[in-house]
């Protein structure tokens, strides 16, 4: 550890010496005394640096040496702060041409004397003010003490920031306020410092917190501080030198520098050692033990780094799993389980469904969306539950799904969590890999070919033993071994002492890799401990932090951003970060074990607080970097706030806030946070890094000393409050290098003097045009690396093109309003050709300018020639007649990778033949070009966009290839676009097709194409697009072209293809746009407004699983066609037809016998289907069918317009889901003698879900004397189906869990319900609407029936309990009758009462109120559509389990029950046309109920 302390001390001393390295600061200190102090301090620092360099060559160890090095480091930090402050005042004087901080004033004489007297008076006043009280008297009441205070007032100006070497007086603030009246005579001679700093103008108040003055310079105090630092450094340095004399030399191990530059072969695509576990889980959740169960939770538990997440990722992406679970959701919980966040992410990741608009809460919305869906939810990396009830609530919500087999997979490190979430008690335990599998994995990380040389096998085996089978340790140490193949390096890795510091070897393996990082990489990784676990880093966030902490400094001609990218890439290569693919904005993540490692190695310097956990955190007094996360902090109540304040006061006794260099706050910063932390952070004056990305109140309200943060290098401010203003004094932070306003959505009011920030390298802004364009005199910011928007002559001064001439470090530049430049000379002042580092350039003329001067605009563009290393060029709106010569014949930007031309008027276009690095071309809104020249250099083109080219007609090939294209014939190996991945063509009204239309079907044309989009090209004739042929193709979107209104095709990573085709009237055959014999991977086909499929084409789709046909003439064409004598089958599992105009019943009848795997059939809005016959083969026609009331069936089958749909017998074993909707003439016809085991729908013995909507005649021929539906049903939904009088025909449905009966007759009664709710039944959800006497006169107690049977003798029969959990009903009177509520009271958890049939009902009766009170298990209660109800039922407070109370559209209710609500209530909802009085009443309960939601 002494080595770490040594490196840290060297780094800090180097930073302290930086301000005086160039001699500018010393030259500024003009007087002899002040100059000598600076010289003495710099000399001492150099001596310390020499001592540390000598120590680096010695064998130093031990805690005593660490302590001495820490003291040197602390003093060096103080020296760094002091010299940094001096440099601040030097910059201030240079900017404002002032002399307040200098030693000799330009005017000499009296003013020099005045300055000296002023500095001396300040110092003397502070000394007198800080004298102990006992010098003047024994107690505060002693008059001598008062005299001393008065004397101090007469000699003291406003004090400035102190240092750790001095002891600031607690009353200093009071003294500063009292100073204003002191020394009246001197005050008349020269400015008195009781006012704000004379250099700082008094900015007007713009709504921010109270302003604070800028710090003031006190020469005498600085001299004293320098002297004190030297006096502290000298003895410690001498002590270290003495120790070093007795230390022997140390061999410097520079192993980490000898690394390979290639990245190791990734092993992630293959899962080593866990195939058996993975296959077992996949089998269990797709076809095994969990398939027929309700919601199941399966925890995967094991130590960090054992591959839990990797295992679940492979399961999650497995094709069987994808097919089994239509809804899959992945949530990284990361530490504490937060129910609200989990629900919000489930809401984001699930698709909207029909009827969800009526859902008032997120919970209801999720229940509704998942009600008929089987889903897989992954909750990755749970560490703790703040409230275990949150987990129970989640399970309650998700268990409402009526589909069997839904799963939750949980990964965690802790067995306790696994026990909490695993209701079944079963979990998957992951430990290290088995030796053989681990060996394979480790070898892949160490060697390219996975083979170890024989002479290293013994070392490899010993190292593997220490890794304990951890995949993460294998990856990290494997990459370390790759860096140096020498035996010496491998032995040093093996023998490192870090192996022994951790029992399981994982952390020691990671720490070892950290130790072998170069020191600058160690520092960069070190400070990642300040970010929350599982944080997804953006590049600029990491690089900005490194710049802010002086790890990465502007040096010479190097770009800080590019230097930071190199470091970040190095850390990725070494396995400390992992890059994630995103849309243009890469993210970096760190494994949780590596985050633990960062916390460990940074524990002496960094503290990461996750509120409210403060009291249990171990604090080091050496901490200088603090991050605070409020993500898990609940609302601030008085008790928790006081507790947190108390813990912070204890924390402050150890943590020296005045020494903090970094403060990073994650999560919302609201007024409650400010009240708690404002005082705690009041002394944080040494900050270099301040990160506040989510402020709800001004920064000055939390950091009242904000304006005095003179050391700031990196400032990040963000807010969602549009009325919030930027702090005016950000332009006074002269050391600022990074200003990050990327998340700033407040007012865009920059200070006028932003150009004072001469050290600014990066200024990140939220939008392309925001804030950058407001910087006046931007030319002074010579280190700036990006200026996205510079508006020429935006104002009369400070926005001239010459401002750009000084910005030589720019990497990105956008120049707008170029029409305001009228001469070549003015344009040339921007000096674009001299900007060697410029990589991205935008040049724009305003498209709405009143007039165009073609000659001038051409000349200006010619003068704006960029440096030849430019990579990305955008030109918009130029009105010149041709492209500039540097893009034409004299092509000068040969490094160009991306070209975007928009709205230009050129007749002569760029000659791109020399742009051999060109990757992207976008031409947009250009009217003139008719031809697009396919240059030879397009062989490297990755993305091509052609948009709004109104006259574009022809593709023109290079002359040398023209001969090959005669007759549109290409050589077999021709690749016009061999690397093209994205091709987008929009709004090209004259374009007829591709350059080689007859060859688009060949994979040789676009071998790498991934995305194809063609939109609004009415003359474009689309040749067939074979998704299967072009292996790389992932997405195709065709809109409004010839033959097609829409074609959309998606191909997934496993090769599965989904295709949607919407035709026009000109599409006569689908093979005009689809090559059937090549689409063997097509899994889902949707056809809309298309001609019927031909059998020969259908048979070619050998992977087809889902067929959807909508708004078309028919489903399929004739099924004869030479196939009648050949037995054929299709693998289709799901068919959906909707609004078909033909005889869809006949077509389906002919098709169904050839679909042995059909499990789901949906028929919607097919009015010509009139009869359904179940269980008859198509060829069978018998007399029995006619005897059963279907005598006309045989004849009807011969008549096309009778609309008979016959289900073949094999569907009884395959069909699981059947859906009819809007089939008004559909009637179920039964031929029972033809079906073994029963008739009607009972023949479908595998059916699990049945939905019949708006088909009123469906049951019109049923006698209702026997059972109608198969006992296999789990879900039954009948809407507007006539004829059902009781539930007796449903009494055999022993597996039914959900029953919905909507508008099935006002006289529908619940007789028969008892068998579904008691022993043998499984009904959990019942929703009955439109049957107002459903429960009337029902006695679910079987005792009465027994009494009647036995002649009235009372029998002692034990009552059975109900299985029902959720009930929706509009039969209020029947439900709340005594027999019914007694039966349901113990099981019912959710009750929704609808008042649709309660007209005139103003209140519940006393009996009904009593009945409600006895529903002891009720957790949710809803009142809906009670138009006349004036009072909610009394006694609700007795529902001790109630957690949620809701009322919707109850306009006459004005208040809640007088006797109150239950203490258990967590949520209160009011929706719809409820009265204002009721909503106001509810608002008055805020603070007593955790969640109140009121909407109109």
Which conformational region is residue 1400 in: left (phi greater than 0), alpha (psi within -120 to 50 degrees), or beta?
A: left
Q: pLDDT higher for 259 or 646?
A: 646
Does position 1323 have pLDDT exceeding 90, yes or no?
A: yes
Does position 944 have pLDDT exceeding 60, yes or no?
A: yes
**Nearest alpha-carbon partner for 894 in 921, 875, 920, 912:** 912
Sign of CA dihedral 1033, 1039, 1041, 1046: positive
Q: What is the per-residue pLDDT for 1016?
A: 93
As given in the structure block, the two tokens for residue 1033 are 């193709």
Question: What are 36-82's pLDDT values in tens digits?
Answer: 777 888 888 888 888 777 777 666 777 778 788 888 888 888 888 88
What value does the mean pLDDT take over residues 518-533? 90
Compute the distance between CA of residue 528 and CA of residue 390 in angstroms, rounded to an integer.
Answer: 31
DSSP state of 241: H
Q: What is the per-residue pLDDT for 1353?
A: 46
Asked if 758 and 782 touch (Cβ cutoff 8 Å), the reply is: yes
Question: What are 307-319's pLDDT values in tens digits?
Answer: 888 888 889 988 8
- Give the model's confidence band at 30: pLDDT under 50 very low, under 70 low, under 90 confident, else very high: low
If 0-12 CB within 10 Å is exposed, 13-18 middle and 19+ buried, where does residue 932 land?
Answer: buried
Question: What are 1190-1215's pLDDT values in tens digits?
Answer: 444 444 444 444 688 999 988 989 99
Does position 754 have pLDDT exceeding 60, yes or no?
A: yes
Compute the distance between CA of residue 631 and CA of residue 667 in angstroms, rounded to an integer.
Answer: 5
Mean pLDDT score of the chain: 79
What value does the mean pLDDT take over residues 775-783? 92
As given in the structure block, the two tokens for residue 553 are 């400094």
Question: What are 578-591's pLDDT values in tens digits?
Answer: 888 766 678 898 87
Beta bridge partners of 842: 814, 874
- Give the model's confidence band at 1153: pLDDT under 50 very low, under 70 low, under 90 confident, else very high: very high
Separation of first and last alpha carbons in the chain = 64
Does position 615 have pLDDT exceeding 70, yes or no?
A: no
**DSSP secondary structure of 852-887:** --HHHHHHHHHHT---TT--EEEEE---SSB--TTT
Q: What is the per-residue pLDDT for 1007?
A: 81
Does position 908 have pLDDT exceeding 50, yes or no?
A: yes
Residue 409 sits at φ, ψ, to 5 deg, of -105, 125
CA dihedral 1425, 1428, 1431, 1432 (to 10 degrees): -20
Which conformational region is residue 1460 in: left (phi greater than 0), alpha (psi within -120 to 50 degrees), or beta?
A: left
Most confidently modeled of 450-464, 733-747, 1042-1056?
A: 733-747
Q: pLDDT higher for 535 or 274?
A: 535
**DSSP secondary structure of 1330-1381:** S-TTTTTT----THHHHHHHTTT-----PPPPP---EEEES-HHHHTSHHHH
Question: What are 329-382's pLDDT values in tens digits?
Answer: 999 887 678 898 899 999 988 988 888 888 888 998 999 899 889 999 999 888
Compute the distance between CA of residue 189 and CA of residue 187 in angstroms, rounded to an integer.
Answer: 5
Does position 1352 have pLDDT exceeding 60, yes or no?
A: no
Instruction: Average the pLDDT over each of 382-391, 741-750, 754-763 and give the range with the smallest value.
Output: 382-391
- Give the model's confidence band at 963: pLDDT under 50 very low, under 70 low, under 90 confident, else very high: very low
Instruction: Average the pLDDT over each of 86-100, 1150-1164, 1267-1281 and give the range with the smallest value.
Output: 86-100
Compute the distance between CA of residue 339 and CA of residue 348 in angstroms, rounded to an integer.
Answer: 14
Does position 560 have pLDDT exceeding 50, yes or no?
A: yes
Compute the distance between CA of residue 1156 and CA of residue 1412 in angstroms, rounded to an integer.
Answer: 51
Asked if 1035 and 1050 touch (Cβ cutoff 8 Å), the reply is: yes
Question: What SS3 string covers 160-178?
Answer: CCCCCCCCCCCCHHHHHHH
Distances (CA, A) of 1094 to 389, 1115, 1119, 1146, 1207: 57, 9, 8, 15, 22
Most confidently modeled of 249-263, 278-292, 956-970?
A: 278-292
Does position 32 have pLDDT exceeding 60, yes or no?
A: no
Does position 1234 have pLDDT exceeding 50, yes or no?
A: no
Q: What is the per-residue pLDDT for 580?
A: 80
Q: pLDDT higher for 585 or 410?
A: 410
Q: What is the per-residue pLDDT for 1194?
A: 44
Instruction: Average the pLDDT over each of 134-143, 736-745, 909-918, 1087-1096 and give the range with the smallest value.
Output: 134-143
Question: What are 1163-1178's pLDDT values in tens digits?
Answer: 999 988 999 988 655 4
Q: What is the per-residue pLDDT for 64?
A: 78
Does position 632 have pLDDT exceeding 70, yes or no?
A: no
Does position 165 have pLDDT exceeding 50, yes or no?
A: no
Most confidently modeled of 132-136, 307-311, 529-533?
A: 529-533
Q: What is the per-residue pLDDT for 263?
A: 25
Does position 172 have pLDDT exceeding 50, yes or no?
A: no
Q: What is the per-residue pLDDT for 132?
A: 37
Instruction: Average the pLDDT over each of 141-150, 493-502, 612-621, 898-907 and give the range with the smallest value.
Output: 141-150
Compute the distance between CA of residue 862 and CA of residue 955 in angstroms, rounded to an integer.
Answer: 28
**Nearest alpha-carbon partner for 1109 in 1081, 1076, 1156, 1142:** 1142
**Nearest alpha-carbon partner for 86 in 52, 41, 141:** 41
Q: What is the per-residue pLDDT for 543?
A: 93
Q: pLDDT higher for 1400 or 903?
A: 903
Q: What is the per-residue pLDDT for 191?
A: 31
Compute the distance between CA of residue 1146 and CA of residue 1202 in angstroms, rounded to an integer.
Answer: 9
% of the chain beyond a pLDDT of 70: 79
Compute the distance between CA of residue 1252 and CA of residue 1177 in angstroms, rounded to an integer.
Answer: 24
The residue written with tokens 């580092």 in the block is 837
Q: What is the per-residue pLDDT for 838?
A: 94
Instruction: Average the pLDDT over each of 111-115, 692-696, 703-707, 1224-1228 and give the range with the smallest value.
Output: 111-115
Question: What are 1357-1378's pLDDT values in tens digits?
Answer: 445 678 899 999 998 888 887 6
Q: What is the per-residue pLDDT for 495?
A: 76
Beta carbons within 10 angstroms of residue 1457's beta carbon = 14
**Nearest alpha-carbon partner for 1424 in 1445, 1454, 1405:** 1445
Q: What is the per-residue pLDDT for 781?
A: 93
Exposure b/e, 799-817, CB count within 10 A at least 16 = b: bbbebbbebbbbbbbbbbb
Beta bridge partners of 1253: 1221, 1279
Give the three-state DSSP class for 18.
Answer: helix
Instruction: Average the pLDDT over each of 691-695, 1158-1162, 1228-1232 and give the range with the smallest value.
Output: 1228-1232
């Amino acid at each position: 550890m002494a080595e770490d302390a040594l490196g840290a001390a060297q780094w800090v001393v180097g930073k302290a010496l930086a301000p005086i390295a160039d001699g500018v600061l010393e030259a500024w200190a003009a007087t002899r005394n002040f100059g000598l102090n600076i010289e003495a301090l710099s000399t001492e620092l150099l001596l310390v640096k020499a001592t540390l360099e000598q120590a680096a060559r010695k064998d130093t160890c031990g805690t005593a040496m660490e302590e001495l090095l820490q003291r040197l480091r602390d003093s060096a930090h103080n020296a760094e702060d002091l010299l940094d402050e001096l440099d601040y005042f030097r910059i201030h004087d240079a900017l404002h041409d002032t002399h307040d901080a200098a030693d000799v004033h330009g005017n000499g004489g009296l003013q020099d004397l005045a300055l000296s007297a002023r500095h001396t008076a300040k110092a003397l006043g502070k000394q007198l003010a800080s004298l102990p009280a006992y010098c003047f008297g024994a107690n505060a009441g002693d008059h001598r003490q008062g005299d001393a205070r008065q004397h101090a007032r007469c000699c003291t100006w406003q004090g400035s920031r102190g240092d750790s070497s001095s002891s600031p007086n607690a009353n200093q603030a009071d003294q500063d306020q009292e100073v204003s009246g002191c020394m009246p005579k001197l005050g008349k001679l020269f400015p008195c410092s009781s006012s704000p700093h004379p250099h700082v103008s008094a900015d007007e108040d713009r709504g921010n917190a109270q302003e604070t003055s800028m710090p003031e310079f006190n020469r005498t105090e600085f001299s004293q501080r320098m002297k004190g630092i030297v006096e502290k450094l000298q003895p410690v340095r001498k002590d270290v030198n003495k120790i070093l004399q007795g230390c022997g030399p140390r061999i410097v191990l520079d192993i980490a520098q000898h690394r390979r530059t290639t990245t190791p072969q990734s092993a992630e695509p293959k899962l080593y050692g866990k195939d058996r576990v993975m296959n077992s889980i996949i089998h269990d959740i797709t076809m095994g033990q969990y398939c027929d169960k309700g919601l199941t939770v399966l925890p995967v538990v094991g130590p960090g780094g054992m591959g839990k997440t990797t295992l679940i990722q492979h399961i999650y992406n497995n094709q069987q799993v994808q097919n089994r679970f239509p809804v899959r959701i992945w949530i990284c919980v990361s530490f504490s389980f937060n129910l609200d966040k989990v629900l919000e992410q489930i809401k984001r990741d699930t698709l909207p469904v029909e009827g969800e608009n009526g859902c008032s809460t997120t919970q209801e919305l999720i229940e509704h969306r998942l009600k008929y869906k089987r889903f897989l939810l992954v909750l990755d990396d749970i560490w703790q539950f703040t409230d275990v009830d949150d987990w129970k609530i989640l399970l309650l919500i998700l268990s409402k799904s009526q589909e069997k087999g839904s799963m939750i997979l949980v990964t965690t490190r802790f067995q306790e969590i696994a026990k909490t979430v695993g209701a079944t008690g079963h979990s998957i335990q992951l430990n290290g890999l088995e030796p053989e599998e681990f060996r394979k994995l480790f070898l892949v990380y160490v060697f390219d070919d996975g083979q170890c040389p024989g002479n290293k096998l013994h070392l490899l085996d010993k190292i593997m033993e220490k890794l304990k089978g951890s995949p993460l340790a294998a990856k990290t140490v494997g990459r370390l071994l790759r860096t140096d193949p020498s035996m010496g390096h491998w032995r040093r890795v093996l023998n490192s002492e870090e192996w022994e510091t951790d029992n399981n070897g994982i952390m020691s393996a990671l720490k070892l890799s950290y130790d072998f990082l170069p020191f600058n990489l160690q520092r960069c990784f070190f400070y990642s401990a300040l970010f929350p676990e599982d944080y997804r880093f953006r590049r600029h966030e990491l690089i900005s932090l490194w710049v802010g902490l002086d790890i990465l400094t502007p040096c010479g001609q190097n770009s800080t951003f590019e230097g930071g990218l190199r470091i970040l890439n190095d850390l990725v290569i070494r396995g400390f970060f992992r890059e994630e693919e995103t849309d243009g904005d890469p993210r970096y993540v760190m494994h949780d074990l590596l985050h633990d490692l960062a916390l460990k190695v940074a524990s002496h310097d960094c503290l990461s607080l996750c509120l409210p956990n403060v009291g249990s955190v171990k604090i080091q007094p050496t901490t200088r970097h603090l991050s605070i996360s409020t993500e898990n902090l609940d609302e601030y109540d008085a008790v928790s706030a006081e507790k947190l304040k108390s813990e912070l006061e204890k924390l402050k006794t150890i943590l020296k806030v005045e020494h903090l260099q970094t403060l990073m706050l994650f999560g919302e910063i609201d007024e409650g946070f400010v009240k708690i932390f404002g005082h705690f952070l009041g002394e944080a004056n040494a900050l270099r890094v301040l990160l506040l990305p989510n402020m709800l109140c001004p920064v000055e309200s939390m950091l009242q000393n904000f304006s005095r943060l003179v050391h700031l290098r990196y400032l990040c401010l963000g807010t969602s409050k549009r009325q919030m203003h930027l702090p005016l004094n950000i332009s006074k932070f002269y050391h600022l290098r990074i200003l990050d306003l990327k998340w700033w959505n407040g007012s865009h009011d920059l200070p006028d003097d932003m150009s004072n920030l001469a050290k600014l390298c990066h200024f990140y802004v939220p939008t392309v045009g925001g804030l950058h364009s407001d910087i006046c005199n931007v030319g002074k910011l010579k280190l700036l690396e990006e200026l996205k928007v510079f508006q020429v002559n935006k104002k009369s001064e400070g926005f001239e093109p010459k401002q750009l001439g000084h910005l030589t470090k720019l990497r990105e530049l956008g120049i707008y309003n170029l029409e305001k430049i009228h001469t070549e000379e003015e344009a040339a002042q921007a000096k674009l050709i001299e900007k060697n580092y410029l990589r991205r350039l935008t040049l724009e003329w305003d498209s709405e300018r009143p007039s165009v001067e073609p000659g001038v605009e051409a000349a200006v563009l010619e003068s704006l020639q960029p440096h030849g290393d430019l990579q990305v060029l955008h030109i918009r709106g130029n009105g010149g007649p041709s492209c500039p010569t540097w893009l034409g014949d004299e092509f000068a930007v040969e490094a160009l990778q991306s070209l975007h031309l928009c709205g230009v008027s050129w007749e002569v276009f760029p000659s791109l033949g020399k742009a051999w690095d060109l990757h992207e071309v976008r031409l947009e809104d250009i009217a003139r070009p008719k031809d697009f020249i396919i240059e030879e250099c397009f062989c490297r083109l990755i993305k091509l966009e052609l948009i709004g080219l109104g006259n574009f007609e022809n593709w023109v090939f290079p002359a040398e290839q023209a001969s090959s294209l005669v007759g549109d014939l290409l050589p077999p190996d021709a690749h016009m676009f061999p690397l093209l991945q994205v091709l987008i063509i929009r709004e090209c009204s004259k374009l007829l097709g591709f350059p080689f239309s007859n060859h688009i079907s060949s994979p040789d044309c676009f071998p790498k194409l991934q995305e194809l989009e063609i939109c609004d090209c009415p003359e474009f004739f689309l040749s067939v697009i074979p998704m299967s042929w072009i292996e790389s193709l992932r997405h195709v979107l065709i809109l409004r072209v010839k033959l097609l209104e829409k074609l959309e095709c998606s191909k997934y990573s496993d090769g599965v293809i989904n295709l949607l085709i919407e035709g026009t009237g000109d599409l006569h055959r689908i093979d005009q746009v689809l090559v059937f014999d090549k689409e063997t991977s097509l899994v889902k086909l949707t056809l809309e407004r298309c001609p019927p499929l031909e059998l020969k084409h259908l048979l070619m789709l050998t992977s087809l699983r889902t067929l959807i046909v909508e708004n078309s003439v028919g489903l399929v064409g004739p099924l004869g066609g030479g196939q009648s004598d050949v037995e054929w089958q299709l693998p289709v599992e799901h068919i959906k037809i909707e609004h078909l105009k033909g005889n869809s019943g006949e077509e389906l009848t002919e098709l169904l016998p050839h679909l042995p795997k059909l499990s789901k059939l949906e028929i919607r809005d097919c009015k010509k289907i009139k009869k359904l016959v179940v269980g008859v083969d198509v060829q069978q026609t018998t007399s029995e069918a006619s005897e059963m009331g279907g005598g006309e069936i045989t004849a009807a089958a011969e008549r096309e317009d009778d609309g008979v749909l016959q289900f073949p017998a094999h569907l009884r074993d395959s069909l699981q889901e059947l859906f009819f909707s809007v089939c008004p003439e559909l009637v179920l016809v039964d031929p029972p003698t033809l079906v073994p085991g029963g008739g009607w729908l009972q023949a479908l013995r595998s059916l699990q879900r049945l939905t019949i909507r708006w088909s009123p005649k469906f049951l019109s021929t049923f006698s209702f004397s026997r059972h109608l539906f198969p006992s296999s049903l789990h879900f039954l939904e009948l809407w507007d189906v006539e004829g059902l009088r009781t539930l007796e025909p449903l009494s055999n449905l022993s597996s039914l869990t959900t029953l919905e009966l909507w508008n099935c007759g006002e006289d529908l009664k619940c007789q028969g319900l008892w068998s579904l709710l008691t022993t043998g039944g499984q009904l959990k959800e019942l929703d009955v609407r439109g049957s107002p006497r459903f429960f009337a006169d029902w006695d679910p107690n079987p005792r009465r029936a027994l009494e009647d049977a036995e002649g009235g003798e009372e029998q002692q029969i034990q009552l059975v309990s109900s299985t029902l959990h959720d009930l929706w009903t509009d039969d209020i009177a029947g439900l709340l009758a005594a027999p019914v509520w007694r039966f349901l009271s113990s099981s019912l958890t959710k009750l929704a009462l609808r008042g649709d049939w309660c007209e005139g009902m103003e209140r519940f009766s006393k009996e009904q109120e009593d009945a409600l009170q006895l529903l002891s298990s009720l957790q949710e209660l809803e009142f809906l559509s009670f138009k006349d109800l004036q009072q909610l039922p009394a006694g609700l407070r007795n529902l001790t389990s109630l957690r949620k109370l809701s009322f919707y559209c109850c306009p006459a209710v004005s208040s809640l029950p007088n006797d109150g609500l239950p203490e258990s209530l967590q949520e209160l909802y009011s929706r719809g046309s409820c009265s204002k009085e009721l909503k106001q009443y509810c608002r008055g309960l805020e603070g007593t109920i955790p969640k109140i939601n009121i909407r109109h």
